[in-house]
Amino acid sequence: MSAATSHTYDRLAGPRERIRIDGIAKQALDTGRVRLIAVAAAFGLCFVVLGARLVDLTLLRAGEPIAVAPAVRVAPLARGDIVDRNGLLLATNLKTASLYAHPRKVLDPHASAAAIARVLPEIDLADLQTKLASDRGFVWIKRNLTPREQDAVNRLGLPGVGFMDEPRRIYPQGRLAAHVLGYTGVDNHGLSGIEKGFDETLMEGAGKPVQLSIDVRVQHALWEELQAAMVLHRAIGAAGVVMDVQSGELLAVVSLPDFDPNQINEATADQLFNRATLGVYEMGSTFKAFTVAAALEYRTADLDRVFDASEPIKVSRYTIKDDHAKNRWLSVPEIFMYSSNIGAAKMALEVGGTRQRDFLRRLGFLSKAPLEVPEVGQPMWPQPWRDINTMTVGFGHGIAVSPVQIAAAFSPLVNGGLMVSPTLRKRNPAVDPPAERVLSSETSEKLRRLMRLVVEKGTGSRGAANGWLVGGKTGTAEKAVNGVYKRNALLSSFVSSFPMTDPRYVVIAILDEPKGIKETHNFATGGWTAAPVTGRVIARIAPVLAVDPVNEKSDEVQRSMTVSARRGRN
Alpha-carbon distances, residue 384 vs 301, 346, 362, 380 (angstroms): 26, 19, 19, 12
**Residue 481: which pLDDT band, with cuts at 50, 70 and 90?**
confident
Per-residue model confidence (pLDDT) at position 557 = 81
Q: What is the pLDDT of residue 205?
A: 65
pLDDT given at position 564: 63
Burial class (CB in 10 A: 0-12, 13-18, 19+), 498: buried
Is residue 18 over pLDDT 60? Answer: no
pLDDT mean across residues, the chain? 88
Q: What pTM did the predictor assign?
A: 0.81
The candidate with the shortest Cα–Cα distance to 338, out of 495, 458, 202, is 458
Mean pLDDT, rounded, for 132-161: 92
Annotated catalytic residue 340: no
Predicted pLDDT of residue 79: 86
DSSP codes of every residue in 373-437 = SS--PPPB--SS--HHHHHHHHTT-S-BB-HHHHHHHHHHHHTTSEE---BSBPP-GGGPPPPEE
Helices 109-119 + 125-132 axis angle, to 10: 140
State the virtual CA torsion across 357, 360, 365, 369 in degrees, nearest 10.
130
- Full set of structural domains in the chain with CATH: 1-35 (no CATH), 76-212 (3.90.1310.10), 219-261+271-561 (3.40.710.10)
Tens-place pLDDT, residues 35-55: 777 667 777 776 666 776 666
**Mind listing the pLDDT tens digit for each residue in 356-413?**
999 999 999 999 999 999 999 999 999 999 999 999 999 999 999 999 999 999 999 9
Question: Which one from 98, 112, 255, 285 is the annotated catalytic residue?
Answer: 285
Structure confidence at residue 1 as a pLDDT band (50, 70, 90) = very low
Amino acid at 149: E
- Once rounded to an integer, what is the mean pLDDT over residues 283-302? 96
Q: What are phi and psi of 489, to 5 degrees?
A: -120, 90
Return the pLDDT at 34: 67
Q: What is the pLDDT of residue 187?
A: 83
Rounded Cα gap, residues 483 and 345, in angstroms: 21
CA 384 to chain centre: 32
pLDDT tens digits for 504-534? 999 999 999 999 999 999 999 999 999 999 9
Banded pLDDT at 76 (limits 50, 70, 90):
low
Q: Is the Cα torsion angle 383, 385, 388, 391 positive or negative in sign?
A: positive
Could you give the CA distance from residue 95 to residue 76 in angstroms, rounded to a whole number? 11
Residue 16, pLDDT above cutoff 50: no
Distance CA 81, CA 170 (A): 10
pLDDT at position 167 over 60: yes
State the first-to-last Cα distance of the chain, in angstroms, to the nearest integer. Answer: 151
Which DSSP helix (H) or strand (E) runs through 44? helix 24-55
Nearest-CA neighbor of 274 among 400, 402, 188? 402
Exposed, middle or buried by CB within 10 Å (0-12, 13-18, 19+), for 144? middle
